[in-house]
Amino acid sequence: MTVDWLIASNNAGKSRDLQACLAYAGVTAQPYFNQFDRLTFPAETTTSYVDNAIAKARFGASQLGVPVIADDSGIEIPALPRQFGVTTARDLGVAVSGFDRNQEILQALRQVPDGQRQAVMRATLAAAWPDGRVVVVQGTVAGYLAHFQLGQYSGGFDRLFWLPHYGRTLAEIPAPWRIPLTHRGRAALKLITKL
């Protein structure tokens, strides 16, 4: 593929992760703010990952005049049914560090036993062109939430997200093996089949 994509996000951490996932899938991309002034994206007002991702992607493509990829993602925790999911960033605050977000989740789960600490991470990627075309894919990963933050290979929720089959958190797995296991990595692998 010869198309270079820009990532339509002001979140540097998410942009780095998405860039790595897209590279793993064979797509060359970089944060839009490496080339352009920062945009003020529309506020997320829906309860739909798909709608949020499409809105960000369409806005980015129309403002920048180039193809972009946007992400909307979240963590869903059945033991905390009224929190997180599509509103994860809004619930935890976009300015809060990944470490502090994780600590807040651990605090909310402090009385929840191991067998009830299930979680799903979801990612929706929307690729948009300036002419209005949009392609949308989704990826998920299911696991459990650890009692402590573990791992140095990645950050964010990966440091909490325990995969029983591997006996470790996502952040304890080096990138070449971790990326295809993650929600965003799985979405990126789907996206390349549609671009």
Query: Mean pLDDT of residues grouped by 10 in the chain (195 residues)?
Result: 80 92 95 96 87 97 97 93 70 64 91 95 97 97 97 93 96 96 97 94
Q: Which of 37, 72, 100, 114 is catalytic?
A: 72
The token pair that represents 5 in the structure block: 């994509």
Residue 3 to residue 27: CA distance in whole angstroms: 8
Please confirm, yes or no, whether 72 is among the known catalytic residues: yes
Give me the residue spans of the domains in the chain. Answer: 5-192
| Cβ burial, residue 179 (10 Å; 0-12/13-18/19+) | buried
| pTM score | 0.91
What is the per-residue pLDDT for 23? Answer: 96
Residue 66 to residue 11: CA distance in whole angstroms: 19
Q: Which CATH number fits domain 5-192: 3.30.365.10, 3.90.950.10, 3.30.390.50, 1.10.760.10?
A: 3.90.950.10
| 89 touches 142 (CB < 8 A) | no
Q: Which of 159, 139, 142 is nearest to 150 (CA)?
A: 159
Residue 149 to residue 143: CA distance in whole angstroms: 15
In 10 A of CB 61, how many CB atoms? 25
